Structure 1
Amino acid sequence: MGKLANVLALLPVLLAAALSAPPARAEGVVFLVRHAEKSLEIEGDAAPLLKAGVDRARTLARMLAGAGIAELITTDALRSRQTGAPFAERTGLQPQVMTRNDQVALAGRLREKPDGKDRLIIGHVRNIPRILEALGVPGGGQVTLNPDVDYDHLFVVQTYPGRPASMVRLRFEATNRE
């Protein structure tokens, strides 16, 4: 009974120590957005942004310009590159152009071997859930976006060594001010 009493006496101290331990340090942040509003008059990857999409891309650039992002990743679709262009202009970053599948593969590599860099990835309605899943976001593969209206979602994902990623899903409105 004496040993049990000693263990029970130490339990509050051990619990307090565990709860006050610093959280695991994030190994990089991925800011993930869908391209902005596109023209429906042109099909495929050649569809450009609408005026509303250009405004949203500028808003995104203003929001994230001071976030310490080290890499900008777009797809080869014109709308993805145009969404990233204002951010590239503000930060001086050269966009890295990848296929949709390569974006997913990059996310998987970042989960397995994080490098501490913060990134902005401009994806598409169908590959965003795959990117979230590859980053290790619990339930990330089940995230849904309405292809007709959901251009205003910003996913902020923090990756941690040996732990699931954490995600915050935000929404942002486009403004036409420069």
Structure 2
Amino acid sequence: MLEATLEVLYEKGYGGLTTAEVAKRAGVSTATLYRRWSSKQDLVIGTATQWARDLGPGEDTGTLDGDLTALLRDKARTLDGPGGRLLHVLIGEAAHNPALAQVLDDAVVQPVRDRAAALVARAVGRGDIPPLEDTHVLADLVVGAMVSRVFLTPGPSSPSPTGEAMARELRPFLLRALGARPA
């Protein structure tokens, strides 16, 4: 059901998605779909939550540079792959759908914040960087910068970079901002 929902979202957006189309693509009846999800919104929320769960936890590489590179690489893969299209749809719909906005926060933003906080705590514990007042600032910089450049500001004068290109550009800046030196 996840794949069918993602396909319809990519092709038709949230407004064009119907439970009948998702059921047809998944090869099930709408009654089967409604046994699990009571509405289109519930289906999309369930899909986004499952997709985010499938992303998995971050890794501890043993260095700030390694951990930050892994975080940026994972976010780049998300933006450059099917997840990027899902996020694009959800970000657009979340502006006027509080339930989807909450899912974005719970399933996408908060896990990045938690991972960034763990990354910073490990780096502080190793003495790589001084303690930070707010460890979530790193996550906000990663998510905000990457989403802004990839989704919101592309245009003729600044074409949309890939998530991977954005990750490469952000890495040295973030290391300096954290008080470390790029390798």
Alignment TM-score, normalising by the size of structure 2: 0.28
Q: Larger Rg: 1 or 2?
A: 1
> Larger % of helix: which?
2
> Larger % of strand: which?
1
Alignment TM-score, normalising by the size of structure 1: 0.28
Report 1 or 2 for greater relative contact order, CA contacts < 8 Å, sequence distance ≥ 6.
1
